[in-house]
A and B are shown apart, each in its own frame.
Chain A
Amino acid sequence: MEKTWNNKAWFLVLPVLVIVAFSAVIPLMTVVNYAFNDTFGNNEFFWAGLEWFDEMVHSSRLHEALGRQALFSAIILAIEVPLGIFVALNMPKKGFWSSLVLVLMALPLLIPFNVVGTIWQIFGRVDIGLLGHTLEALGLDYNYTNDPIDAWVTVIVMDVWHWTSLVALLCYAGLQSIPQAYYQAARIDQASRWAVFRYIELPKMKGVLLIAVLLRFMDSFMIYTEPFVVTGGGPGNSTTFLSIDLVKMAVGQFDLGPAAAFSLMYFLVILLVSWVFYTVMTSMDRNPSDIPEGL
Chain B
Amino acid sequence: MAQITLKNLAHSYNPHPKSEADYALKEMDHVWQDGGAYALLGSSGCGKTTLLNIISGLLTPSHGRVLFGDRDVTDAPTAARNIAQVFQFPVVYDTMTVRENLAFPLKNRGKDAAYIKARVDQIARMIGMEAMLARKAQGLTADAKQKISLGRGMVREDVNAILFDEPLTVIDPHMKWELRTQLKELHRQFGHTMIYVTHDQTEALTFAQKVVVMYDGRVVQIGTPEELFERPAHSFVGYFIGSPGMNFLDAEVQGDQARLPGGEIVALGARYPALSGRVQIGIRPEHVALAAEGLPLAVRRIEDVGRHRLLRGEVAGRALNLVLPEGGALPAEPRVAFLPSKINVYADDWRVAPQEGR
Contacts and interface: CB of A to CB of B under 8 A. Distances in A.
A202 to B, nearest CB: 8
Interface in B142-192: 149, 152
A291 interface: yes
A293 B145 CA distance: 12
Given A187-B77, A188-B83, A286-B136, 13 more contacts: A187-B58, A188-B79, A188-B85, A188-B105, A189-B104, A189-B105, A190-B105, A199-B96, A200-B93, A203-B94, A285-B138, A286-B138, A290-B138
Contacts of A185: 85, 87, 91, 149, 152
A111 to B, nearest CB: 38
In this complex, the member of A184, A189, A192, A293 whose beta carbon has the largest number of chain B beta carbons within 10 angstroms is: A189
Contacts of B95: 199, 203, 285
B229 interface: no
Contact of B136 (A179, A187, A195, A287): A287
B93 A199 contact: yes
B93 A184 contact: no
A100 interface: no
Interface of B: 56, 58, 77-79, 83-85, 87-89, 91, 93-96, 104-105, 108-109, 135-136, 138-141, 149, 152
Nearest to B86: A185
A185 B79 CA distance: 10
Contacts, number: 66
A205 to B, nearest CB: 12
B101 to A, nearest CB: 9
Contact of B89 (A181, A203, A286): A181
Contacts of B105: 188-190
A247 B85 CA distance: 62
A182 interface: yes
Contact of B78 (A188, A203, A293): A188
Contact of B79 (A179, A187, A195): A187
Contacts of B109: 190
Given A188-B79, A189-B152, A199-B96, A181 B138 contact: no
A180 to B, nearest CB: 9
Contact of A187 (B78, B88, B94): B78
Nearest to A290: B139
Interface of A: 179, 181-182, 184-185, 187-192, 195, 199-200, 203, 285-287, 290-291, 293
A90 to B, nearest CB: 20
Contacts of A293: 139, 141
A184 B139 contact: no
Nearest to A191: B108
Contacts of A291: 139-141
A286 B78 CA distance: 32
Contacts of B58: 184, 187
Contacts of B108: 189-192, 195
Contact of B85 (A184, A195, A287): A184
B138 A190 contact: no
Nearest to B93: A199
Contacts of B135: 287
Contacts of B83: 188
Contacts of B104: 189, 191, 195, 199
Nearest to A199: B93
A19 B87 CA distance: 51
28 contacts: A179-B89, A179-B91, A181-B88, A181-B91, A184-B56, A184-B78, A184-B85, A185-B85, A185-B152, A187-B77, A187-B78, A188-B79, A188-B83, A188-B105, A189-B108, A189-B152, A190-B105, A191-B104, A192-B108, A195-B108, A199-B95, A203-B93, A285-B94, A285-B136, A285-B138, A286-B138, A287-B139, A291-B139
Contacts of B94: 203, 285
Nearest to B110: A190
A189 B108 CA distance: 7
Given A190-B108, A199-B95, A184 B138 contact: no
